[in-house]
């Protein structure tokens, strides 16, 4: 992802962040897509900013796998009807780790970041309207008041995906 500004991270976490996102970028470019790569960068940065950061223990390859595994669970990567699609064992193999190591880091990430199924924070923008929680967040109502209640991160993803527009108030 050249050209994107580096996230604000503690100095000691920058090399580890770089190592992990180099791996996730590589796997995403070979097997997934740009949306997964961007989300992987965001999730890795969030983990790096956590105090204490869980990234300090373990190998970058297992963290890269855990990050992509967590994003894959939220975005149904392991569902054959989705595009892109991979099996969990294929994802772990692409990261160069065992399935049990990838799953263990996935569980650690899910607990640390409180990630749940359909988590809007980690949904791919192109799939946002397919997520039932997106519509529940608006309470089935696309009026201005309902959309204004949505979390800012969700609004930004919906805007980037072209689901909602932007208007400068008068």
**Long-range Cβ contact pairs of 12-21 (< 8 A, separation 24 or more):** 13/48, 13/49, 13/53, 13/55, 16/48, 16/55, 16/56, 16/60, 17/44, 17/45, 17/48, 17/55, 19/60, 20/44, 20/55, 20/60, 20/63, 20/64, 20/67, 21/64
What confidence tier does 72 reach under pLDDT thresholds 50, 70, 90? very high
What confidence tier does 166 reach under pLDDT thresholds 50, 70, 90? low
CATH class of domain segment(s) 11-117: mainly alpha
Tell me how far apart the alpha carbons of residues 154 and 49 are, in angstroms, rounded to a whole number. Answer: 20
Residue 160 has pLDDT above 80, yes or no: no
Say what the pLDDT of residue 1 is.
47
Residue 2 has pLDDT above 60, yes or no: no
| Mean pLDDT across 81-103 | 94
Domain boundaries, the chain: 11-117, 118-170
Say if CB 109 and CB 67 are below 8 A apart. Answer: yes
Question: For residue range 122-158, what is the model confidence (pLDDT) as tens digits?
Answer: 888 887 766 666 655 555 455 555 555 566 666 666 6
Say what the pLDDT of residue 154 is.
66
């Amino acid at each position: 992802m050249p050209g994107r500004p580096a996230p604000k991270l503690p100095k000691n976490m920058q090399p580890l962040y770089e190592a992990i996102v180099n791996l996730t970028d590589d796997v995403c470019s070979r097997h997934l897509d740009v949306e997964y790569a961007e989300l992987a960068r965001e999730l890795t940065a969030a983990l790096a900013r956590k105090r204490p950061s869980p990234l300090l223990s373990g190998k970058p390859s297992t963290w890269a796998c855990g990050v992509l595994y967590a994003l894959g669970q939220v975005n149904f990567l392991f569902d054959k009807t989705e595009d892109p699609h991979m099996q969990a064992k294929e994802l772990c193999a692409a990261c160069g780790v065992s399935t049990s190591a990838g799953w263990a880091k996935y569980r650690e990430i899910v607990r640390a970041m409180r990630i749940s199924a359909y988590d809007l924070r980690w949904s791919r923008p192109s799939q946002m309207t397919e997520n039932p929680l997106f519509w529940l967040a608006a309470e089935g109502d696309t009026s201005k008041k309902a959309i204004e209640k949505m979390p800012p991160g969700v609004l930004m993803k919906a805007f980037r995906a072209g689901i909602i527009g932007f208007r400068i108030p008068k």
